[in-house]
Structure formats: C-alpha cells, structure tokens
C-alpha cells in the first residue's frame, strides 16, 4: 500500500495565465502556466514522484500491484488529470474517439470532463452545436469564419460539471480555471483560433479535415450538473460527479475527519481543489493544500483524511 505525492509537468500555451502559480502552488520558471499535468504517464507530459522517478516508470515496475488486477503488463495509466488556467479563450477544437485516434494518431481518443473551479463574472465557454450541420455546411462555416454562430456559448460558474464526449466541439473561455479529467491522450484538432498568431508571428495550425471526420454535427444537450445527487456523510458531502467507461470521478467536501474504504483492486488519483487536508494510511501522513495531487496504489484498501477542504478522487470505472 502506498500514497505518492506527485510533481506535475507544465505547459506554457499562449492563452494561459498565472493563477496556477499564485493560487494552486505551481512553482516553475515559465512566464505563462497554462496547464499543469498532475497525473500523467503520457509521453507529452510526464508526472514525477517525489523521488524524481516518472509515474510511468513506477507503474511499469508492477502493473497489477499499482494499477489493478484488470490491467495487463503492456498497459499504462488510462487517464490524465490536469489543471487549466484560461486567461484567454482557447481555440475551438474537437477530439477523436478511440478508433479514429488509434488509426490516425497512434494515441487514445479523448473523452474528458471539466470541474469549473473559478469563473470570472460573465465567463462563458463553447459547447457543442445549437443546430444540425452537414459536413459541407460545417466546412463552409469554418472557411467563412461563421462557425461561432452555430455553437452554444454558455455562461459557467464555479461548481459546474461539464462532460465532453469525443466528437464534441468545444472551447474553454477566458477567465476560467478547471480541473480536467480525460483519457490519456494528446489528440486535439483545432478548428478555429480567432486568427491568433504564435510567438513567431505565425497563425497556429488548424486540422479542418480531421475535425470534419470526427465532429458530432448534431445539437448538444446542455446539462452542467453532477451525474448523481450529493450524499451527506459523517465527514461532509460526497458526490459522484461522473461515471463513464473511461473513469469515475467523485467529490469529497470535508468538514470532519473520516475514513475512505477503497476497493483494493484499482488505482486512485486524488487532487485537493480547496482548503487544506491531511491524508494518512498505515505507512505515512501527508499534508495537502489546494493544487496538490497524489497517486494511490491499487492495493491500498483505505486511508483517513481530516482538515477542511475538498478533494476529487479519480479511479477506473
């Protein structure tokens, strides 16, 4: 049994800000901290343990012990967890499903969900279409720079839970900080980028043909609530935010000490998103602050927690 503090990998995309440094304890030398990849074995951003070993290498030492008995020796962590600070609008984009990504990108597909942690007044994001399009009308809207007219532009607030299946056109808007839980993938097709230029003065690449291949061109249903109702417990509030074929995500609002009993047959990743907490198992005690993340081995059967805050627990479905 083991609980491992994690050190993230950082990304300095042009739309990012500095809230992750100032408010989420993300120390790095970048001028912009757009994302911190908290729990990742993806080669594009490897999370490390406190020893300096990558999480990927640690898991490979004993897949079944660390990830769970349902995993085979050639598998790795199926999820990627990150903080995102959008100081500016992200591009309009879409992600492929597994079949398309395996065939074209040698990567996983990307179904994801967002927990809105912060949203400035009047902050909005784009989510899916407000009308049906054909592939030809979709392509024409991209080429004519009228695509935004066909997208849902939705106001968001802290606490919103947004599930984004592969194929959903979307963009996080300016002034929003999210915790993102996704398949372990970095396959993104940029559809529209507001004619922005990169640091070298070049327009960023678009991926229109692939986006046309994978986008769901039917109207999207807007429901930014948790999948299940909250449950009051002796320690505070517990909510299953989303359970899908790729991950299960739960929220724990802690007001009193408690013990969480785990299945003992799958990994868990834990991210503190509010306040300060103390975790303990039979080997160690860890103090966590807002922004800290840990990986919990599959064989861990329980741990205790105390403090005043909120953590998110991610596990295999």
- Catalytic site residues? 190
- How crowded is the C-beta side of 134, counted as CA atoms within 13 Å? 3
| Dist CA 190 CA 152 (whole Å) | 17
Q: Where are the alpha helices (DSSP H) in the chain?
A: 19-23, 55-61, 63-66, 98-104, 135-143, 208-214
State the Cα angle at 155 between 212 and 93, rounded to 5°.
20
DSSP-derived secondary structure for 191-252: EE-TT-B-TTS-BPP--HHHHHHH---SBPP---S-SS--EE-SSEEEEEEEE-SS-EEEEE
Q: Which of 225, 214, 227 is nearest to 93 (CA)?
A: 214
Q: Which of 54, 106, 102 is nearest to 77 (CA)?
A: 54
| Dist CA 273 CA 217 (whole Å) | 34
């Amino acid at each position: 049994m083991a609980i491992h503090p994690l050190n993230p990998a950082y990304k300095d995309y042009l739309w990012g800000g500095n809230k992750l440094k100032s408010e989420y304890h993300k120390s790095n030398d970048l001028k912009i901290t757009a994302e911190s990849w908290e729990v990742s074995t993806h080669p594009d951003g490897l999370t490390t343990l406190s020893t300096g070993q990558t999480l990927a290498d640690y898991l490979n030492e004993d897949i079944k012990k660390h990830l769970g008995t349902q995993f085979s020796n050639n598998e790795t962590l199926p999820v990627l967890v990150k903080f995102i600070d959008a100081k500016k609008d992200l591009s309009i984009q879409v992600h492929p499903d597994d079949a398309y990504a395996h065939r074209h990108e040698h990567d996983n597909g990307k179904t994801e969900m967002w927990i809105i942690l912060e949203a400035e007044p009047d902050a909005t994001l784009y989510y899916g279409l407000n009308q049906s399009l054909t592939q030809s009308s979709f392509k024409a809207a991209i080429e004519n720079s009228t695509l935004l007219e066909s997208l849902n532009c939705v106001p968001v607030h802290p606490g919103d839970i947004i599930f984004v299946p592969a194929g959903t056109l979307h963009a996080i808007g300016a002034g929003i900080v999210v915790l993102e839980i996704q398949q372990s993938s970095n396959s993104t097709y940029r559809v529209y980028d507001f004619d922005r230029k990169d640091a070298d003065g070049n327009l960023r690449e678009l991926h229109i043909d692939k986006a046309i291949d994978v986008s769901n061109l039917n109207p999207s249903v807007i429901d930014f609530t948790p999948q299940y109702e909250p449950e009051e417990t002796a320690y505070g509030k517990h909510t299953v935010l989303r359970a899908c074929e790729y991950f299960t995500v739960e929220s724990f609002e802690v007001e009193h000490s408690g013990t969480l009993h785990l299945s003992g047959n799958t990994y868990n990743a834990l991210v503190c998103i509010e306040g300060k907490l103390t975790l303990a198992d039979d080997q160690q005690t860890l103090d966590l602050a807002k922004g800290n993340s840990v990986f919990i081995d599959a064989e861990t059967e329980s741990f205790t927690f105390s403090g005043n805050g909120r953590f998110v627990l991610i596990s295999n479905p």
